[in-house]
Structure 1
Amino acid sequence: MKITIIAGARPNFIKIAPIIKAIEKKQSKGTNISYRLVHTGQHYDKNLSETFFEELNIPQPDANLEVKSGTQAEQTAAIMTAFEKELIQNPSDLVLVVGDVNSTMACAIVAKKLNVKVAHVEAGIRSGDMTMPEEINRIVTDSITDYFFTTSTTASENLIKYGANATHIHFVGNVMIDTLYQNLTRISPPQFWDEFGLVKNNYVILTLHRPSNVDEEKSLIALLQGIDKMVGDKKIVFPIHPRTKAILGETKLILKNILLVEPQGYLNFMFLIKNSFAVITDSGGISEETTVLGIPCFTMRTTTERPETIKIGTNNLVGTSIENLTLEFAKFLKNGLSKRGIPELWDGCASDRIVAVLLTK
C-alpha cells in the first residue's frame, strides 16, 4: 500500500508524526506499506513548521509545495493546483489528511477527482459555527472521505448524522495525544525560562490568533490589558502568532504581567503548558493537551469542536469577552478545578489503530 500523507500547518505536523512512526514500525516487520510525505507550505515560518520536523523526528518531506499565504481562496487554489501535479507524478493508493486546515480540504478534493481514496484523521468534529473556515473545511472533507478516523464517539455520531456509512467510521482515539505521550520525557524549558524567573505554577500561558479575538487592533489591546490585570501576581507567557503580531504592529503596550515571546517549538511549548498554572487560548487543539495534562484551560470562543474536553476534561468555554473570562477565572481561583479526566482511547495508541485499519483495506 502506498500512502501520501499531507501536512500543511503546525497542528498537522503534531498529528502526522505518530502516524509515520506507526507506519515505519510496520515496515520494520516486513509489512508492505510505504508513504510519501507532502508539505503544502501553508505554514512556512520556521517556528510554525520546520522546527516541528526537527523536534518530532519527522523525515524531511518528499515534496514541499511552498504555497505560503494568501486569502482563503488563493491559498486553497494554490494548494490544489500544486498537489494535483504532485499526485499525478507520484501516484498513490490513498491520500491521508489530518485536521481541518485549508491543506486538508484542498488535498482531499484533488485526490477524489483523481479517483484516489481519502482517509481523514480527526474526522467528524464539529463546532456548529459556519463563520469558522475550519468548520467548512471539515464538512467538505468529510463529505468526500472514504475512511473516517475519529477522536470521540461524539465525532462518530456527527458523521452518522451527516449520512456517512457507519462501516467506514473508525473510533481510534487522538493522535495528538500519541505525540504528547511519545515526547513527555523530551520536553524542555525554553531559553527564556530563567531570564523571566519562571517556576512551576507561577505563570499562565496565553495564545490568541482567531479573527474574532485579534483582527481589530483596539479590541485586541483592550483584551490584552484586561487579561494583564486579571491574573494578579501571575506572569503571562504569550507566544505571539505572526498574525497577531502584525495586527499590533508598532503599538507600544504597557503591560505588567504579559511577556511577549516568539512562537515556540513543540518541546518547549509542551514544557510550558505542563508546568503552567492555567492556559488562556482560542485554539481548539491546546484544550486536548491541557485535558490530558490536567491543566485548567479557558477557551475564548463561543463554540468548540471538542466538547469532550469540557464534559470530561479541564476545558472551560468562556466566550470572547474579557468580562466573562474574568468572571470564570475568578470562579476558578476561588473554587479550584472542579473535574478532571481523560477521554476514552486517548491513550497514546491511536496511530497504531489507524495503520492497522488501513492495512485491512
Structure 2
Amino acid sequence: MNVTIIAGARPNFMKIAPIIDAIQEKKAQGFNINYRLVHTGQHYDKNLSDTFFKELNIPFPDINLEVKSGTQAEQTAAIMIGFEKELQQNPCDLVMVVGDVTSTMACTIVAKKAGIDVAHVEAGIRSGDMNMPEEINRIVTDSLTDYFFTTSSYANANLANLGVAQSNVFFVGNVMIDTLLKHAPRLKKPQIWEDLKLEEKKYMVMTLHRPSNVDEENQLKNLIHQIVTLGKDYPIIFPVHPRTKKLLEGLDLNFENLHYVEPLGYLHFNYLVKNAFAMLTDSGGITEETTVMNVPCITLRDSTERPETCDIGTNILVGNDTNKIEAAFANLLSGNWKQGQTPELWDGHAAKRITDCLVEIYAL
C-alpha cells in the first residue's frame, strides 16, 4: 500500500510527524505500507517549514511543489496543477490530508478526480463561520473524503449530521497532541528567555494572524493597546507571523511590556507556552496545546472549531469584544481561571490508531 501524505502549512507538519513514525513502525513490523511526503510549499518562510522537519525529525519531503503565496484562487489552482502532475508521476492507493488549510482542500479535489481514496485527519471539525477560508476548506474536504479520522465527539456528531456512514468514521484522538507529548522532554528555552530575564508563570504569550484581528489598522491598534494595558504587570511575548509583520510596519505600537520576536521553532515556542501565565491567540491549534498543558488561554475569536477546548479545556472565546476581554483578564488576574481537563483520547497514541485502521481497511 502506498500512501501520499500532504503537508502545506505549519500546523500540518506537527500532525504528519507522528503519522510518519507510525507508518515506519508498521513497515518495520512487516506490513506492506509505504509513504511519500508531498510539501505543497503553501508556507515558505523558513521558520514555518524547514525548521519543523529538522526539529521534529521528519524526513524531508520527496517533493516540494513550491506554490508559495497568492490569492485564495491562485494558491488553490497552483496546488491543484502541481499535485495533479505529482499523482500522474507517482500513483498511490491513498492520499492523506490533514487539518484545514488550502492544500488540504485542493489535494483532496485532485485525488478524488483521479479516482484515489482520501483520508482526512482532523475530519468533522466545524466553526460555523463561513467567513473563515478554513471552514470552506473543511466542508469541501469532508464532502469528498472516504475515511474520516476524528479528534472529538463533536467532530463525530458533525459528520453524523452530514449523513456520513459511521463505518467510515474513526475516532482516533489528536495527532497534534501526539507530537506535543513526544517532544515535551525536548522543549528548550529560546534566547528571549535570557534576554528578558523571563520567569515561569510571570509572562504572557500572544499570537495574532486572523484577518478579523489584523487587517484593519484601528482594530489591531485598539486590540493590542487593550491587551498590553490590562496585562501591564506582565511581559507579553509576541512572535510575529509574517503576514502580521507586514501590517504592523508603520504603526506606532511600541509598549514597554510588549516584545516582538521573530517566529519561533516548535521546541522554543512550546517551551514559552508551557511556562506562560497565559496565552492570547486567534489560532485554533494552540488552544489544543494549552488545554493539554493546562495553561489559561484567551482566544480572540468569536467562534471555534474546537469546542472541547472551551467546554472541558482551559480556553475561552472573547472575540475582539472589549468587555469580554476585560472580563477574561479580571478572571485571570484574580486567580479564578477555570481548571481544564484533557479531552478523551488526547493521549499521544492517535497516529498509531490511524495506522491500525489503515491496516484493517486495506487488509495489509
Could you say which TM-score interval applies, normalised by the shorter chain?
over 0.9
Measure the CA separation in 2 of the matches of 1:271 and 1:248.
25
Measure the CA separation in 2 of the matches of 1:76 and 1:331.
42
Matched, 1:321 2:325: no
Alignment-mate amino acid for residue 273 of structure 2: I
Measure the CA separation in 1 of the matches of 2:331 and 2:240.
27
5 Å matches for 1:143-222?
143-222=143-222
Alignment-mate amino acid for residue 79 of structure 2: I
**In terms of mean alpha carbon deviation, does 213-222 or 259-268 score higher?**
213-222
Measure the CA separation in 1 of the matches of 2:337 and 2:192.
28
Alignment-mate amino acid for residue 353 of structure 1: R
Q: Which residue of 2 aligns with 1:263?
A: 263
Preserved contact between residue 8 and residue 43 of structure 1 (Cα < 8 Å): yes
Preserved contact between residue 52 and residue 266 of structure 2 (Cα < 8 Å): yes
Measure the CA separation in 2 of the matches of 1:307 and 1:218.
29
Measure the CA separation in 2 of the matches of 1:84 and 1:138.
20
1:218 Cα offset (Å)? 2.1
Alignment-mate amino acid for residue 360 of structure 2: T
1:193 Cα offset (Å)? 1.0
1:331 Cα offset (Å)? 2.0
1:334 Cα offset (Å)? 1.9
5 Å matches for 1:1-361?
1-361=1-361
Listed one character per residue, the Cα deviations across residues 207-253 of structure 1 (whole Å, up to 9, x for unaligned) are 00000000012221221111111113110000011111101123232
Listed one character per residue, the Cα deviations across residues 181-229 of structure 1 (whole Å, up to 9, x for unaligned) are 1100111011121011111111101000000000012221221111111
Listed one character per residue, the Cα deviations across residues 92-125 of structure 1 (whole Å, up to 9, x for unaligned) are 0000000000000000000000000000000000
Measure the CA separation in 2 of the matches of 1:102 and 1:193.
34
TM-score by length of 2: 0.98
Preserved contact between residue 39 and residue 65 of structure 1 (Cα < 8 Å): yes
Measure the CA separation in 2 of the matches of 1:211 and 1:338.
29
Measure the CA separation in 2 of the matches of 1:77 and 1:354.
30
Aligned residues: percent identity? 62
1:28 Cα offset (Å)? 1.4
Measure the CA separation in 1 of the matches of 2:324 and 2:29.
54
1:335 Cα offset (Å)? 4.3
Preserved contact between residue 201 and residue 275 of structure 1 (Cα < 8 Å): yes
Measure the CA separation in 1 of the matches of 2:224 and 2:67.
32
Alignment-mate amino acid for residue 65 of structure 1: L
| Count of matched residue positions in the alignment of Structure 1 and Structure 2 | 361
Structure 1 unmatched ranges of 5 or more = none
1:290 aligned counterpart, secondary structure? helix
Measure the CA separation in 2 of the matches of 1:139 and 1:340.
29
Preserved contact between residue 331 and residue 337 of structure 2 (Cα < 8 Å): no
Measure the CA separation in 1 of the matches of 2:53 and 2:217.
33
1:332 Cα offset (Å)? 2.4
1:323 Cα offset (Å)? 3.4
Listed one character per residue, the Cα deviations across residues 139-189 of structure 1 (whole Å, up to 9, x for unaligned) are 000000000000001101100101111100000000000000110011101
Measure the CA separation in 1 of the matches of 2:194 and 2:152.
39
Alignment-mate amino acid for residue 166 of structure 2: A
Alignment-mate amino acid for residue 263 of structure 2: P
Preserved contact between residue 223 and residue 320 of structure 2 (Cα < 8 Å): no
TM-score by length of 1: 0.99
Question: Aligned-residue CA RMSD in angstroms?
Answer: 0.9
Measure the CA separation in 1 of the matches of 2:345 and 2:271.
23
Measure the CA separation in 2 of the matches of 1:54 and 1:322.
40
Preserved contact between residue 240 and residue 260 of structure 1 (Cα < 8 Å): yes
